[in-house]
């Protein structure tokens, strides 16, 4: 039995070493300094919307104000509320705003299918005419998104390279909107702050991925060259695969379709609402992990397709995350029980225990420090972020079994994230 314990603890040490090495690489990643001149491009914002009446009007107005030369297209996915009416009223007053409507039984089959349908409609109806498709870029935008003024100029510089097919903007989570009293309000504010902190860490991960052109695409602030999308549709291939993590899968397809394709990260960002309810948060994260599992068959293609070793390792590490998270959860259950056993028998190696705890705490605390400095948090806010991180990580870990359960049961249904109106 002691041999089994040693194997488990050896696995734990390996996972910790892997985490520390990867974290060090992420912390050392720096943005490329080259800044090519802007290239004239035409942007079209594509917003899939299902029951987004509380937020969609403000989002369309924000885009038209910040990007007046861009077209805004909303795909109403058979909403039951007044989403279509809100957008229709705006479109009637603004020729640069367009409403596309899907109807049951062909609607509500997932965000990826709505996007594939929307691009097809834009091409068929000639709504993307007027400029070569190579000079047009589609921007996937969430119904609660807000655009930074510097994002489109940065995108013009990035897409000046003809090999750049897709890009992902930095994501920030707006702080506010928590109305619940007492401990629920505290937990809601903790979730909001930690989601923004998480995206701050993701920003650094994207800088590392940019070195090997494996930037991960997200569902908000995702840029795609229209000529690539049109080519995929002509070949009978859906740009957004039918998985619950369609954003990452679409970027993976870009990378695997042609070794010369590049994906880049845009420092200017998009802000969005965060989740303040634990159940909704668990459901969202379970969906993301579930979608990651659906992408795992791509591993064979990753290792067959010509690309740098660093790109292969990065994509493999990302696709292994659900399994690594499951192992981490198992170790979280094992170590407390093992510690109690050592305490009872008086065999605790205190120097090693203290060193391991310090190593495990050092990286999260460093991220809190860097995030606090960038966002100018007060000492009280920084302490709240540091103390809340273990709670947040525990909640995220709890979503992993739910994701595996849904995946193994074949429950691949898509449940969208609910949003709230903002003042």
The residue with greater pLDDT, 111 or 346, is 111
Quick one: pLDDT at residue 346? 66
How does residue 333 score in pLDDT terms, banded at 50, 70 and 90? confident
Give pLDDT tens digits for 211-228: 888 999 998 999 999 999
The pLDDT of residue 212 is 87
Whether residue 17 has pLDDT greater than 90? no
Given a contact cutoff of 8 angstroms between Cβ atoms, the answer to whether 240 and 112 are in contact is yes
Q: How distant, in Å, are the alpha carbons of 225, 324, 387 from that of 276? A: 34, 26, 17
User: How far apart (Å, rounded) are the C-alpha atoms in residues 323 and 95?
Assistant: 48
Residue pLDDT, tens place only, 167-182: 999 999 999 878 888 9
Cis check: omega of the bond before 105, within 30 degrees of 0: yes
DSSP letters along 273-328, please? -----HHHHHHHHHHHHHHHHHTGGGHHHHHHS---HHHHHHHHHHHTHHHHHHHH
User: What is the distance between the alpha carbons of residues 214 and 66, in angstroms, rounded to a whole number?
Assistant: 29
Q: How confident is the model at residue 343 (pLDDT cuts 50, 70, 90)?
A: low
- What phi and psi, each to the nearest 5 degrees, are found at residue 65? -80, -40
Q: In the prediction, which pLDDT does 352 show?
A: 65
Please give the pLDDT value at position 107.
86
Please check the confidence at residue 341 and state whether its pLDDT lies above 70.
Answer: no
Q: What is the mean pLDDT of the chain?
A: 90
411 has pLDDT over 90: no
- Alpha-carbon radius of gyration of the chain: 23
Angle, to 10 degrees, between the axis of helix 246-257 and the axis of helix 111-124?
A: 60
Q: What mean pLDDT is predicted for residues 141-154?
A: 95
Q: What SS3 class is residue 109?
A: coil
> How far apart are the C-alpha atoms of 210 and 204, rounded to whole Å?
10
Is a pLDDT exceeding 90 seen at residue 35?
no
Please tell me the distance from the alpha carbon of residue 144 to that of residue 99, in angstroms, as a whole number: 17
Identify the pLDDT of residue 180: 82
Supply the pLDDT for residue 12.
Answer: 78
Query: Residues 323, 326, 328, 330: is their CA dihedral positive or negative?
Result: negative
Strand pairing partners for 101? 76
Residue 342 has pLDDT above 70, yes or no: no
Q: Are 247 and 219 in contact (CB under 8 A)?
A: yes
pLDDT of residue 311: 93
pLDDT at 160: 93
Distance (Å, whole) CA 215 – CA 315: 10
Side-by-side strand order, sheet with 164-173: 97-102, 71-77, 42-49, 136-140, 222-225, 164-173, 262-272, 146-147
**In the predicted model, what is the mean pLDDT of residues 370-393?**
95
CA dist., res. 153 & res. 213, Å (int): 21
DSSP-assigned letters across all residues of 206-230: HHHHHTTT-PPP-SSSEEEEHHHHH
For residues 346 and 327, the model is more confident at 327
pLDDT tens per residue across span 161-170? 999 999 999 9
In this structure, the number of other CB atoms found within 10 A of the CB of residue 153 comes to 11
Exposed, middle or buried, 287 (CB in 10 Å: 0-12/13-18/19+)? buried
- Single out the residue of 216, 374, 265 nearest to residue 366, CA to CA: 374
Residue 354: how many CB atoms within 10 A of its CB?
10
- For the entire predicted model, the pTM comes to 0.92
Given a cut of 70, is residue 5 above it in pLDDT?
A: no
Question: 39 near 52, Cβ under 8 Å?
Answer: no
CA 207 to chain centre: 14
Q: Are 276 and 188 in contact (CB under 8 A)?
A: yes
Q: Answer left, alpha or beta for residue 148, where phi above 0 means left and psi between -120 and 50 means alpha.
A: beta
- State how far the Cα of 247 lies from the Cα of 240, in Å rounded to an integer: 7
| Predicted pLDDT of residue 412 | 82
* Weakest-pLDDT range from 33-42, 46-55, 226-235, 241-250: 33-42
Average pLDDT over residues 129-157: 94
| Stretch 311-320: mean pLDDT | 94
Nearest residue to 219 via CA among 77, 112, 64, 60 = 112
Judge whether residue 399 has pLDDT over 70. yes
| Mean pLDDT score, 66-85 | 95
CA distance 375 to 1: 50
Angle CA 202–110–115, to nearest 5: 75
* Cβ count within 10 A of residue 356: 15
- What's the pLDDT score for residue 53? 93
Would you state the structure tokens that stand for residue 237, as one six-digit string? Answer: 């291939």
Helix axis angle for 278-294 and 321-345, nearest 10°, is 120
38 pLDDT more than 80: no
């Amino acid at each position: 039995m002691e041999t089994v314990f040693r194997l488990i603890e050896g696995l734990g040490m390996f996972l910790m070493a892997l985490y520390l090495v990867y974290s060090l690489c992420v912390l050392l990643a720096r943005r490329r300094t080259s800044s090519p001149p802007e290239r004239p491009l035409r942007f079209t914002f594509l917003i899939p919307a299902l029951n987004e009446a509380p937020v969609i009007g403000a989002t369309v107005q924000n885009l038209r104000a910040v990007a007046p030369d861009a077209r805004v297209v909303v795909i109403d996915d058979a909403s039951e509320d007044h989403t279509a009416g809100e957008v229709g009223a705006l479109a009637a007053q603004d020729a640069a705003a367009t409403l596309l409507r899907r109807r049951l039984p062909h609607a509500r089959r997932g965000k990826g299918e709505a996007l594939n349908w929307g691009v097809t409609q834009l091409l068929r109806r000639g709504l993307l005419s007027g400029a070569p498709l190579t000079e047009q870029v589609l921007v996937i935008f969430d119904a609660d998104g807000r655009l930074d003024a510097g994002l489109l100029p940065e995108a013009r510089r990035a897409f000046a390279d003809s090999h750049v097919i897709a890009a992902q903007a930095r994501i920030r989570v707006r702080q506010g909107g928590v109305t619940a009293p007492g401990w629920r309000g505290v937990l809601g504010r903790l979730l909001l702050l930690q989601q923004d902190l998480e995206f701050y860490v993701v920003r650094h991960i994207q800088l590392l991925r940019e070195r090997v052109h494996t930037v991960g695409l997200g569902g908000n602030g995702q840029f795609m060259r229209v000529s690539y999308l049109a080519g995929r549709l002509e070949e009978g291939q859906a740009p957004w695969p039918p998985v619950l993590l369609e954003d990452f899968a679409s970027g993976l397809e870009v990378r695997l379709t042609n070794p010369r394709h590049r994906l880049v990260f845009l420092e200017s960002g998009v802000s969005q609402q965060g989740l303040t309810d634990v159940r909704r948060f668990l459901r969202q994260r379970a969906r993301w992990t579930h979608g990651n599992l659906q992408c795992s068959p791509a591993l064979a293609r990753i290792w067959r397709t010509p690309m740098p070793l660093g790109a292969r390792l990065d994509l493999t590490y990302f696709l292994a995350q659900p399994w690594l998270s499951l192992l981490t959860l198992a170790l979280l259950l094992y170590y407390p029980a093992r510690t109690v056993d050592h305490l009872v028998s008086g065999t605790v190696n205190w120097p090693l225990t203290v060193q391991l705890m310090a190593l495990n705490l050092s990286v999260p605390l460093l991220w809190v420090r860097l995030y606090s400095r960038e966002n100018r948090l007060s000492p009280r806010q920084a302490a709240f972020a540091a103390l809340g991180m273990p709670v947040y990580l525990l909640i995220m870990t709890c979503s992993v079994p739910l994701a595996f359960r849904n995946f193994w049961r074949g429950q691949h249904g898509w449940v969208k994230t609910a949003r709230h109106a903002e003042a």
